Amino acid sequence: MASEAWVTLATNDSYAIGVLVLAHSLKAAQSTRPLVVMVSSHVSAAMRGLLSDVGCDIKDVNVLDSGDSANLAVLARPELGITFTKLHCWTLTDYQKCVFLDADTLVVRNCDELFDREELSASPDAGWPDCFNSGVFVFTPSHETYTNLIQFAVSKGSFDGGDQGLLNSYFSDWATKDISKRLPFIYNMTATAVYSYRPAYNQYGADVRIVHFIGATKPWQVVDGSTFQTSAPSEHVTQWLSIFNEQVRSKLTLDMAGVAQQFAVLELAAGAEASGVSSEEQIQRRREAWERGEIDYKGQDSFDNIMGKMQETMRRSSPTDSPK
C-alpha cells in the first residue's frame, strides 16, 4: 500500500459525481498517489462500484453532524453540518501523509509536491485570508488528532457551523506560526476570488494547480443542458464538463440516487424520443433490462450512442441566436 494518498469525501451519489471527475483529473495530471474516498451509507452500491472502477480506494465512514444550526444560518448553508464527516480523514492511519480535496475541486496540473508539506498546510480563504480554506489541506492521519478534534468540536464547536470553522479554531496558529504551511492560492483557487480580482488570474492563472468550485451550486447539479453559472474561468468549467461528459455521464445508471439518477433518466428519455416509443415505456423497459443485467453495451447503451443523444439534447436546449 502507498504511504501517501489523496483523500476526499462523498456523502451521497450526487457528490460522488464530483469525486468521479476529480479522480479522472488526478489521472490526467499523472499523479502518482491513489485517491481514497470516504463514503457514507447514502452512497449507493452502484456508485461505489463505479468509484472502484476508476481506481478509488473506498472507506466507509459514519456521518457526523455539527448540529450547530445557529452558526450555519449565518452562512445560509445548513447542509454544511455533515461536512464534519470530513474529520474521519484523520483515522486513515494506513497512510503517513495525505492531502484532502473536496469533491468540488478539479486538479488541472500535477501537484504531487504537496506531499512534501507538513500538517496543517492550506491556502488562505478568499473571504478572510487569515483563515484557511478547508477544501484543500495537507494532514497527517492520527487517531490522537481525530480524538482531540472530536473533543474540541463537542466543547468549543465551530464558529461557522462547518468543518472550516472548527479546523481553523483547532489549528489556530496557521496564519502566524509557520509561513511554509501557507499554501499558495494556486493550490486552491476559489471561483469567487477570480471574479473579484480577474487581473491577478490573467497574471498568474497559468500556474493554477487546483480549482475549487465553492458555493451552493455545483457543476453536477446542471441536468438539463443549461449553462453552469460560476465566476470561475471558462476554461476550467469547460475542463470539468469535458471530463464529466466524456468519462462519467454515460456510466451513471438508474439504480443510483439523486442527480446521478436524473442524468441516467435524461439519457433514457433522449433515446426514447429518437426511437418513437414513449419515454415512460422506454425507461421502464430499459430499467427492467438493467435490473436483469441485460445491458446493450454495443447498441443503445454504448458510450458513442449515449454521447450522441446527449449532445443532440444539449443542442436542442441551447437558445437560438438572436436576430441581428
DSSP states along 42-63: TS-HHHHHHHHHTT-EEEE---
Residues 279, 145 share a domain = no
pLDDT tens digit sequence for 285-306: 665 655 555 555 545 555 555 5
pLDDT tens digit sequence for 152-186: 988 888 899 899 999 999 999 999 999 999 999 99
* For residues 249-274, average pLDDT: 83
Within-domain flag for 198: yes
What's residue 9's pLDDT?
97
Instruction: Provide the domain limits for residue 304.
Output: 252-317
Angle between helices 143-156 and 163-170 (to 10 degrees): 110
Residues 307, 187 share a domain = no
Residues 172, 265 share a domain = no
- pLDDT tier for residue 317 given thresholds of 50, 70 and 90: very low
Please state the domain count of the chain: 2
Q: 113-122, 142-151, 201-210 — which one is most confidently predicted on average?
A: 113-122
Within-domain flag for 30: yes
Residues 272, 129 share a domain = no
Structural contact between residues 40 and 12, judged by C-beta atoms closer than 8 angstroms: yes
pTM comes to 0.81
Nearest C-alpha neighbor of 139 from the set 102, 114, 165:
114
> Can you give the CATH number for the domain in which 86 is found?
3.90.550.10
pLDDT tens digit sequence for 79-110: 666 778 999 999 999 999 999 999 999 999 99
Q: What share of the chain is helix, strand, coil (3-state, %, to 5)?
A: 50, 15, 35
Nearest C-alpha neighbor of 4 from the set 80, 156, 169, 114:
114
Residues 266, 180 share a domain = no
Within-domain flag for 151: yes
For residue 307, pLDDT beyond 80: no
